[in-house]
Amino acid sequence: MIQQIKCDGKTEFAFLKELSRRSGETDRKVTEVVTEIIDTVREGGDEAVKAYTKKFDGNLPQYYEVPREVINDALTEADPAFVEALLNAQENIADFHKRQLPQGFTNAKENGVILGQRVRGLARVGLYVPGGTAAYPSSVLMNAIPAKIAGVEEIIMVTPPCKDGTPNKDILVAAALCGVDRVFLSGGAQAIAALAYGTEQIPKVDKIVGPGNIFVATAKKLLFGVVDIDMIAGPSEILVMADDTADAKLVAADLMSQAEHDRLASAILVTTDPTLPDRVEAEVQRQMQYLSRSEIIAYSMENYGAMLIARDTDEAVALANAIAPEHLEVLMRDPLEYIGRLDNAGSVFLGTYASEPLGDYYAGPNHVLPTSGTARFFSPLGVNSFLKRSSYIYYTEEALREAKDDIVLIAEREGLTAHANAIKVRFED
């Protein structure tokens, strides 16, 4: 059963406070294990990575670095319908992200001063892709495509092997289509450490992106600063806003589309129709019977799901903004009217035919999104995630002479006399 809560200004927020604890502090034992792995890989390089792979997976993979011909063969031998689907998704994702590309600028002033900003892609990025049975070729597309558009020079992918030691062919197909440069069969915290510090074979990268389990997420968190990361992602989540025009069958299906990700996933309905929750509950129970991950769905919805009955539309919008969900669906009358009111969400899905999986795989916007309420201040992965900016300044003697007194005054008020002196000495006789 999914709990139902009638909003009264207190009860719903008590639930949300309790919900936030699911993605709280990382388990200390996990942090200790990951810290040891990071330190060992930093000192031991590839041998340490391989030792951890053998320890955790039972044996070493078929390859450490997947040969280019194996990657190309995976694409050649792939199901044509699957390749066509990925190509169509790739086209949509590329079209959306090309529009994000910012431009540098130069501002040449009349007094000879030249100011500007230079924008360019990072030199090398590491892409972590879950492998084995939980393989997501869509993650390759969503991470590699904006990186390529940003001008990243080299993409290094790490992915765990399948149980038989071979690479997941669907992952290789996506890597081939997206122009991933090198692929290594390694997973877990050891692969993240290898990307952050570099080994004899795995190059050191500037940024690490891509989803992973708690050990991967903890490694990224601990190594932030040594290397940049995309974000610290928590369990997946969806919020569906619905009124009396919503179809309970669709609401249930969309809630379960995220609940199946993880036992810690959260699926929440906020509705202005008090009759909808019972109908959604009935649909959840009916549809869940034929879904392969029904046990995970049942656990996550019972423990971290809820159906909140709002007193009016304004309260529903306020709750959505307070929760700041990763995915926000609007199954309301005239859904486009809500675009300007929903400020805190990773991605907003408007209307009956904008189901959340459309965004996961195909529409174009990125599916790497802020979780755990961080959509209040974080943004989805995009082209900007793979760019760096530098400013530049050119001053003439006359322009600096005009500005020097102000600069010296500010520097001396801050007690930084060497700053002031660097300006003064340029005008000493």
What is the pLDDT tens value at each position of the chain, 429 positions in all? 899 999 999 998 999 888 887 765 557 888 999 999 999 999 999 999 999 998 888 888 989 999 999 999 999 999 999 999 999 999 999 999 999 999 999 999 999 999 999 999 999 999 999 876 568 899 999 999 999 999 999 999 999 998 888 999 999 999 999 999 999 999 999 999 999 999 999 999 999 999 888 899 999 999 999 999 998 888 899 999 999 999 999 999 999 999 999 888 999 999 999 999 999 999 999 999 999 999 999 999 999 999 999 999 999 999 999 999 999 999 999 999 999 999 999 999 999 999 999 999 999 999 999 998 899 999 999 999 999 999 999 999 999 999 999 999 999 999 999 999 999 999 997
Q: Which two tokens stand for residue 370?
A: 């802020």
State which of 188, 206, 229 marks the end of a domain: 229
Q: What amino acid positions are annotated as catalytic residues?
A: 326-327
Tell me which residue range forms the domain holding 401: 395-427
Tell me the β-bridge partners of 65: 184
Q: Are 316 and 415 members of one domain?
A: no
Q: Are residues 329 and 307 in the same domain?
A: yes
Same-domain pairing of 222 and 271: no
Residue with tokens 């996506």: 174
Domain of 176, CATH number, reads 3.40.50.1980
In the structure encoding, which two tokens stand for residue 197, read together?
Answer: 């510090």
CB 252 within 8 A of CB 266: no
Among the three residues 204, 229, 254, which one is the final residue of a domain in this structure?
Answer: 229
One domain, residues 314 and 189: no
pLDDT score, position 197:
97
For residue 417, is it left (φ>0), alpha (ψ between -120 and 50) or beta?
alpha
User: Is there a single domain that holds both residue 281 and residue 298?
Assistant: yes
How many domains would you assign to the chain? 3
Judge whether 23 lies within some domain. Answer: no
The answer to whether residues 321 and 331 touch, using CB atoms and an 8 Å cutoff, is no
Same domain, 284 and 207: no
Distance from the first to the final alpha carbon of the chain = 84
Does residue 386 belong to any structural domain of this protein?
Answer: no
The residue type found at 352 is T
Query: If you compute the radius of gyration of the chain from its CA atoms, what whole number of angstroms results?
Result: 25
Question: Is the Cβ–Cβ distance between 64 and 184 less than 8 Å?
Answer: yes
For residues 268-301, one letter each, b for 16 or more C-beta atoms within 10 angstroms of the residue's C-beta and e for the rest, the string is bbbbbeeebbebbbebbeebbeebeeeebbbbbb
Q: How many other CB atoms are there within 10 angstroms of residue 15's CB atom? A: 16
Per the structure block, which two tokens stand in for 304? 């971290």
The pLDDT, as a whole number, for residue 25 is: 54
Tokens standing for 64?
Answer: 């450490």
Residue 2 lies inside a defined structural domain of this protein: no
Q: How far apart are CA 189 and CA 49, in angstroms?
A: 9
Q: How far apart are CA 163 and CA 180, in angstroms?
A: 23
Domain boundary at 229, 256, 290, which?
A: 229
Joined together, the tokens standing for residue 28 give: 């200390």
Answer yes or no: is 368 within a domain. Answer: yes
Measure the CA angle with vertex 240, ends 236 and 242; round to 5°: 175
- Note whether 53 and 162 are within 8 A (CB): no
With tokens 């009860």, the residue in question is 11
Give CA–CA dist 257/260, Å, rounded.
Answer: 6
Q: Which residue has the tokens 């044509």?
A: 80
**Which pLDDT score, from 0 to 100, does residue 58 have?**
80
Shared domain for 85 and 208, answered yes or no, is yes
Q: How far is the C-alpha of 168 from the C-alpha of 136, rounded, in Å?
A: 10
pTM for the structure as a whole = 0.92
Q: What is the dihedral of CA 199, 202, 206, 211, to 10 degrees?
A: -120
Same domain, 313 and 366: yes
Residue 270 lies in a domain: yes
Contact 270, 308 (CB under 8 A): yes
* Residue 372 shares a structural domain with residue 416: no
Q: Can you tell me the distance from the alpha carbon of 67 to that of 79, in angstroms, rounded to the nearest whole number?
A: 21
Give phi and psi for 410, each to the nearest 5: -65, -45
Does 193 lie in the same domain as 139? yes
CB 33 within 8 A of CB 169: no
For residue 225, tell me if it sits in a domain: yes
252 and 161 in a common domain: no
**E-assigned strands of 186-282?**
207-209, 228-229, 237-242, 266-271
* Residues 266 and 415 reside in one and the same domain: no
**pLDDT in the model for residue 132:** 60
Does residue 381 sit within a domain? no
Number of CB atoms found within 10 A of residue 99's CB: 10
Domain membership of residue 59 (yes or no) is yes
Handedness of CA 93, 99, 100, 106 (dihedral sign): positive
* Residue matched to tokens 């369990």: 235
